[in-house]
Amino acid sequence: MIGTTGLNPVDERAKDAVARLRAFHRVVAEHSGRHYRTLVINDGAVAYRDLSLRDNGVTHDFLQRSHALFRAIDASERRNGWPGARMVIGAGFRAKGSRRGIDDAERRVDRILEQMAAAEISAEEAVRQAASIQRYADGIPQLQANFAFTRAYVAEAAGSRAGLGGPKMFVDTTIFDDSTPPSWVRCGPAIPFSEAGLQINCQFVPVTDLAAPGKVGNRIRGLRDGLDIGSALAPTLELRGLITASR
């Protein structure tokens, strides 16, 4: 839409494109929270969460929140006659990311608090200085060396040529027991996806709806927890033994 204006947001024809962008940002913000954090860049958004190694309820919570976000975006798009959006949920490992920007801001806040405690500045001045702190190099640690993000990004970018086209919600089947969607996940047939250069070889299903999952004991039926997913992604690592040994 913005391309028809030569990427000029003040062109009269750009009004719909800018309105669409702002509507998208608003919907993502409304669905973000402590347990569903997001990063928005222009017309894309990344939601992320570390899964529990024992409780697959966290997996269900992320899937359910993602589905709610997708439905809200889809409703906004349809209401305005816009093309729709695509969501891809990927599973993967992540390494610890850099906290340089966060740590630097925390050090500056600590220095302000020390000055206030020493009566070198007033409380009002401390608040003013803290409010003016800016990060000059920023980043979200959870999205650095995050290979679930890599997996989802590569699949989304492949789009129609990989069978992942259209305004749909595609879910990596690695999150399901035996990589098979349970009956409460209403979806189309699995779509194989591979990227030889990154050694990605998985399947996605286009999810249309989620019903109440039910439980088997204390576990959500049909979903893997973080440890199960890790073991499915890297079966030769024997993750359960590594985690037990580290405790």
pLDDT by residue (tens digit) across 19-33?
999 999 999 999 999
Alpha-carbon Rg for the chain, nearest whole angstrom, is 22
Prediction pTM value: 0.85
pLDDT band at 142; cut points 50, 70, 90: confident
Looking at residue 75, its pLDDT comes to 96
Least confident of 29-33, 98-102, 163-167: 98-102
Instruction: State yes or no: pLDDT of 93 exceeds 80.
Output: yes
Single-letter amino acid code for the residue at 240: R
Q: Is the pLDDT of residue 127 over 60?
A: yes
Structure-derived torsion over alpha carbons of residues 215, 218, 220, 226, reported in degrees to the nearest 10: -170
Of 143-147, 170-174, 234-238, which gets the smallest average pLDDT?
234-238
DSSP collapsed to 3 states, 185-201: EEECCCEEEEEHHHCEE
Domain residue spans of the chain: 32-94+140-246, 99-138
pLDDT for 218 equals: 92
pLDDT at 244 over 60: no
Beta strands in 61-126 (DSSP E): 87-89
Q: What pLDDT is recorded for position 116? A: 87
Instruction: Report the distance separating Cα 27 and Cα 220, nearest Å.
Output: 28
